[in-house]
Amino acid sequence: MKDFPLVDLVGVGLNATDTLIPLEQFPQPGSKVHYSERSTRPGGQVATTVVACQTWGLSTRYVGKLGDDDAARLHKEAFARVGTETQIVTVARTASLHNVILIDAAGERTVICQRNDLMVLQPSDLRREWIESARVLHVDGHDTAHKAAVLAALAYGFWVPPAQLYTEGLRAVEKQDIIYARKLGYGLKLLAIIKTDSDGAAEVRVHPTLVPTSHVLASVSGVFNAVLVRGDVVGDTLYYGRGAGGDPTASSVVSDLAQIAAHFPQEQKARNVGHEALHSRVKSMPEIVSRYYLRLMVVDRPGVLADVARVLADRKIGISSVIQPEAQAGEITPLVLMLHDAPEAEMLAAVQDISTIGAVKTLPVYLRVEDFD
């Protein structure tokens, strides 16, 4: 078996070829806009971080999948140029992932991204020695959940078991949900929510969340991340900065390596985290209480809203507002409801009951709402 040299960092994850197009402003629906230049370069969060770390003087290895096209050759040349070792799984007769990034004059980015399940690494694609012969492992996927686990440990003194950290991505969200959220006065953000109740139980969850447009977190966009911390005495404090891109991510990785080096091989001086040190337990998702946004695709006919309201009333869930675009009788149209506070268990049961109503033609979409009260 081949021996693999020890490297400072191994990155495992997706890559993509990015085509960047600068524009004066983002195009309006149905419009035609001109651009004067474009550039195509290799990208992807993990791949970019690995190259940046190698450029900064670390020894690195990249593990990922590529197709058998010109984009794959572009990536391999970029890794070779800086001296990054690669372990590439090639997918025959498949195009590498490609993103189009529109950048307006203010620097705001709109990413049109491509996904292909064939390009996702599977456990069977990996070899143990690729991973073990490295001081630090950098992996993409569930990034926000990883951050939530670390922040919960720092705030509350215990590690959240992965099975108890609820994680939900943006796959179920459609463009119309973003549009209706704006009409209702909300923006849509992927939030990690970490808080406790009066009984000492901790909530640690990650999911798409409606945030009031008047709240500071609603304005966080592009490559920027923000952490809102609420203290008993100090109140709300905000920590804001770049959370993506080669240099910011590489800076975090190098900082971690420096901290490891500072404490090795000496006695560990970093903060120790116990188990459930400050709080009694982690709440399960069915226990959490939230407001909700609910979108249904229904046949426009008399009695549909009453049927939905009856199901919600049976679960003791109140309706705060309703939006339904004007439609011809018999057409399928969205029915959007904002709901009052309810336990997740009751909301899930209501959604299951609503999906059995004959006029409801697709699976209901529901999103949680955070008002920061």
CA distance 251 to 365: 38
CA-closest candidate to residue 292, choices 224, 355, 343: 343
CA-closest candidate to residue 314, choices 353, 366, 355: 353
3-state secondary structure the chain: CCCCCCEEEEEECCCEEEEEEECCCCCCCCCCCCCCCCEEEEECHHHHHHHHHHHCCCCEEEEEEECCCHHHHHHHHHHHHHCCEEEEEECCCCCCCEEEEEECCCCCEEEECCCCHHHCCCHHHCCHHHHHCEEEEEECCCHHHHHHHHHHHHHHCECCCHHHCEECCCCCCCHHHHHHHHHCCEEEEEEEEEEECCCCEEEEEEEEEEEECCCHHHHCCCCEEEEEEEECCCEEEEEEEECCCHHHHHHHHHHHHHHHHHCCCCCCCCCCCECCCCCCEECCHHHCEEEEEEEEEEECCCCHHHHHHHHHHHCCCCEEEEECCCCCCCCEEEEEEEEEEEEHHHHHHHHHHHCCCCCECCCCEEEEECCCC
| Catalytic residue (one of 147, 195, 283, 361) | 147
Would you state the structure tokens that stand for residue 256, as one six-digit string?
């971690």
CA distance 56 to 49: 10
CA distance 20 to 111: 9
Strand partners for 109: 103
Does the annotation count 147 as an active-site position?
A: yes
Under a CB-based contact definition with an 8 Å cutoff, are residues 66 and 75 in contact? yes
Q: Give the active site residues.
A: 147
